[in-house]
């Protein structure tokens, strides 16, 4: 750079100044971009008041429906208090929070930052070296996630379903406590489907909000007259336990090949490696949750009880 260019930059000041966002009178300085999706971005920010680091989720709303969905996520986060579910520090709507007319609005959610990353990240690193997790650690993590799911499924006055439980939506705190994140897909768990229009709407929402390799079969092909309940999450828990053992969902390879995940899920075929370090009791627990018939799939309390039995059995074998 020549002397003239350097002089101009010195006169102008730094052109790389950090963005500052004001949330309800508190200023946050954006440090870096953590993630960028189709509907939202997540930035690493520093609170100028207490110098603490947070993750800030920024969502653009293009319609009243978008705003209602974001507001629902905020309301759930404000209501929920559980050690294994992400908490909300603050939130703010920029623009119209009631109606959108030829414009957009932005929602900002100030959330905890988890520097130890996600379970998905951890399992990907382990997969490279084929470093399988110890069965005790598997059940420590899985039991904590089950506790979070039980809390949601027993909410009053209506049980809630996360609807997008997966390894990428489980983070670790500094002491490796698992925390369920991203409640944007969460809904009241029990939905009465009355007719083909209701069925198609629910199926479309599931395709948009629920990741295919962890999505329950009844959400791929919604019956015209049925009740969908919280046991969609139980299917996802079965996929998560499989991933804890073998690094990915039993349907991830189908997804990566570009084959039909729906067909694979609806067929109900779950294959375990021939040479496995885990006892059949663990496989039985996975199959227990991956029942393609939602009416026969267990509720969370039964999963927790069976998990405890399997844990005790495995410990006695060891």
d(CA 275, CA 273): 5
Mean pLDDT check: name the lowest of 37-46, 193-202, 204-213: 37-46
pLDDT band at residue 98 using 50, 70 and 90 as cut-offs: low
d(CA 167, CA 138): 13
d(CA 156, CA 233): 18
Same fold, 16-112 and 119-317: no
**Chosen CATH of 119-317 out of 1.20.1600.10, 1.10.510.10, 3.30.365.10, 1.20.1630.10:** 1.10.510.10
Catalytic residue among 164, 182, 229, 252: 164
CA angle (105, 33, 256) in 5-degree steps: 95
Q: Is 164 a residue of the active site?
A: yes
Cα separations (Å) of 211 from 16, 22, 233, 265?
Answer: 37, 33, 12, 12
**Mean pLDDT to the nearest integer, 172-196:** 96
pLDDT digit string, tens, across residues 134-160:
999 999 999 999 999 999 999 999 999
Q: Which of 153, 146, 108 is nearest to 244 (CA)?
A: 146
Fold for the domain defined by 16-112: Phosphorylase Kinase; domain 1 (3.30.200)
Question: Is 192 in a helix, a strand, or coil?
Answer: strand
pLDDT digit string, tens, across residues 224-233:
999 999 999 9
Residue 104 clears pLDDT 90, i.e. is over it: no
d(CA 186, CA 69): 10
d(CA 211, CA 249): 11
- Record the pTM: 0.90
Q: Dump strand ranges (E) for the chain.
A: 20-23, 26-36, 40-47, 53-61, 90-94, 105-112, 160-161, 170-172, 178-180, 187-188, 191-194, 225-228
Domain boundaries, the chain: 16-112, 119-317
What mean pLDDT is reported for the chain? 90
């Amino acid at each position: 750079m020549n002397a003239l260019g350097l002089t101009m930059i010195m006169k102008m000041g730094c052109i790389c100044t950090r963005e500052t966002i004001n949330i309800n009178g508190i200023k946050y300085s954006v440090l870096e971009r953590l993630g960028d999706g189709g509907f939202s971005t997540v930035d690493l920010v520093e609170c100028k008041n207490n110098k603490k680091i947070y993750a800030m989720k920024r969502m653009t709303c293009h319609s009243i429906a978008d705003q209602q969905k974001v507001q629902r996520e905020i309301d759930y986060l404000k209501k929920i208090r559980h050690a294994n579910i992400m908490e909300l520090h603050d939130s703010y709507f920029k623009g119209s929070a009631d109606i959108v007319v030829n414009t957009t609005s932005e929602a900002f959610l100030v959330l905890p930052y988890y520097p130890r990353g996600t379970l998905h990240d951890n399992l990907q690193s382990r997969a490279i070296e084929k470093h399988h997790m110890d069965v005790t650690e598997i059940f420590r993590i899985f039991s904590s996630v089950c506790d979070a799911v039980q809390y949601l499924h027993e909410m009053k006055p209506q049980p809630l379903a996360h609807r997008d439980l997966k390894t990428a939506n489980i983070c670790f705190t500094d002491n490796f406590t698992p925390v369920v994140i991203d409640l944007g897909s969460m809904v009241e768990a029990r939905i009465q489907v009355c007719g083909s229009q209701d069925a198609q709407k629910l199926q479309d929402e599931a395709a948009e909000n629920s990741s295919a390799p962890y999505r329950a079969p009844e959400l791929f092909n919604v019956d015209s007259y049925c009740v969908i309940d919280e046991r969609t999450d139980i299917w996802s828990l079965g996929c998560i336990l499989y991933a804890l053992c073998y690094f990915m969902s039993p349907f991830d390879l189908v997804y990566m090949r570009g084959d039909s995940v729906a067909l694979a899920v609806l067929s109900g075929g779950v294959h375990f490696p021939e040479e496995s370090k885990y006892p059949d009791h663990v496989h039985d627990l996975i199959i227990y949750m991956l029942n393609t018939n939602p009416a026969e799939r267990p509720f969370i309390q039964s999963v927790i009880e069976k998990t405890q039995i399997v844990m005790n059995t495995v410990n006695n074998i060891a």
